[in-house]
Structure 1
């Protein structure tokens, strides 16, 4: 059965001990830790800004898995000026940053590092953008070999649906590259959650679920329809990651744990109902 985690997107002001306590109290097996990388960060639980041993011990002592390190790294940066830019420009910056995140994840026994593809540049074709992204991403995936970490690329930008992510996955074709699928993002591209889950199949490592109303942290109904088909159709080893925007809690910080608990209860109930029906 898929495992449950929540993203620290909802709670950037929580320190790592608070994150882990909330995971246990709210019924989650793991957490996805957001990071701004090595540099300035206003995320209090950012693993790149904390002592690795402290983060690992906090999670391990409570039986919580650090399911993913969520970066905002992208690999779409244009070569500028064309051709000459490959010589005088720094084309490897995000590659180096992603490699460091893989090393960090490995030290935390974290199985996934989340990255993005992102936008095409100017009037270039998506195929050309995909080629540039894949050339860089392949180096990151190679670095993950024998680390116990996989690179998880999430839909967004010009790769908003599962079908567009498949172009990248099929080009690199490595067991060390998998998908993180944000169903709410794909819906904006006209793709239903269950269709995306089916298309990605065993390449899907994380299903991201979040509010369907931008004005309130209200989760979709997981007991029926396309959302139920999505969560019950996941690979058994996948994670369901609950995301909420922190702006929903600007005036009521105490609501975060209540909302996380409600989401975990709703998802777990739907998963158990699905298992009972298929038994």
Structure 2
């Protein structure tokens, strides 16, 4: 498996420093948070997008994905949501990223069935657009669709290869789902896996990999046992936790921890 980290852990850091961190600490790629406060977002010009792609190529790194904030199950008109997803897909194509991350965002204003149908309709519409651009849209296990079983209700309705799943191991665990069950639900659609660690179920402050309560050993074991050979991306949510330790000092121990788990499960 290949290892990446998300720029959510180093908010606002210039790309030259992001690529230097990835190279220095032995990661194969980076997931780019797409937000106006970050160096990479949908407002970049064609020249700026080409510069992003060139910077990663020069560093010998992959851009794993564009982590967007479109909420495909949110109530309201389809138009603005589809426009946001398409803009993310175009950005991913232009910088050489194979994946775009979207959230469910179903909220409490509609039933689960209505949220499922809304998300599936929008993802199905966006799928052909993404296919034409060689990008895959991944629905993250998050918020209203926290578990693999939740996400599968949507993905089963979509039924398109260009729409898949992003397994956030914290959310499936907080949703009461065991890693073996999450993988069973998501494996037919799995794009990549976001790993992380947290202090406790009641305190989701990010900590170094292996220093918290998430079942990372079980996650890596089930992936390895089933021959899955994709990406593990460390999403360290420093952006939301002012007291979190700085990510750069944790990157090498985190990579070593994941490598150890991979070796033990081989």
TM interval, short-chain normalised: 0.7 to 0.9
Q: 1:225 to 1:273 in 2, by over 3 A?
A: closer
Any gaps of 5 or more consecutive residues in structure 1?
A: 80-89
The answer to whether the 8 A contact 2:74-2:104 is kept is no
Alpha-carbon distance in structure 2 between the residues aligned to 1:63 and 1:187: 34
Q: 1:125 to 1:217 in 2, by over 3 A?
A: same
The answer to whether the 8 A contact 1:159-1:165 is kept is yes
Structure 1 residue 199: Cα displacement? 2.3
Match of 1:207 in 2: 193
Match of 1:139 among 116, 121, 125: 125
**Could you give the per-residue CA deviations for residues 56-79 of structure 1, whole angstroms, max 9, x where no partner exists?**
111001110000000011022324
Structure 1 residue 208: Cα displacement? 0.8
Any gaps of 5 or more consecutive residues in structure 2?
A: none
Match of 1:263 in 2: 254
Q: 1:5 to 1:257 in 2, by over 3 A?
A: same
Residues 25-40 of structure 1 mapped to structure 2, 5 A cutoff = 25-36=24-35
Match of 2:93 in 1: 106
Match of 1:77 in 2: 74
**Could you give the per-residue CA deviations for residues 181-216 of structure 1, whole angstroms, max 9, x where no partner exists?**
111111111012232123211411111111221345
The answer to whether the 8 A contact 1:220-1:227 is kept is no
Q: 1:92 to 1:252 in 2, by over 3 A?
A: closer
Alpha-carbon distance in structure 1 between the residues aligned to 2:216 and 2:105: 32
Q: 1:163 to 1:57 in 2, by over 3 A?
A: same
Structure 1 residue 120: Cα displacement? 4.2
Match of 2:152 among 166, 170, 173: 166
**Could you give the per-residue CA deviations for residues 6-30 of structure 1, whole angstroms, max 9, x where no partner exists?**
0011111211111111111111111
Alpha-carbon distance in structure 2 between the residues aligned to 1:242 and 1:192: 19
Instruction: Give the structure-2-normalised TM-score.
Output: 0.88
Aligned residue pairs, count? 257
Alpha-carbon distance in structure 2 between the residues aligned to 1:172 and 1:220: 36
When the two chains are superposed, the root-mean-square deviation of aligned CA atoms in Å is 2.3
Structure 1 residue 55: Cα displacement? 0.6
User: Helix, strand or coil: the match of 2:191?
Assistant: strand
Q: Report the structure number with the largest CA radius of gyration.
A: 1
The answer to whether the 8 A contact 2:8-2:239 is kept is no
Alpha-carbon distance in structure 1 between the residues aligned to 2:50 and 2:159: 34
Alpha-carbon distance in structure 1 between the residues aligned to 2:37 and 2:12: 8
Match of 1:42 in 2: 37
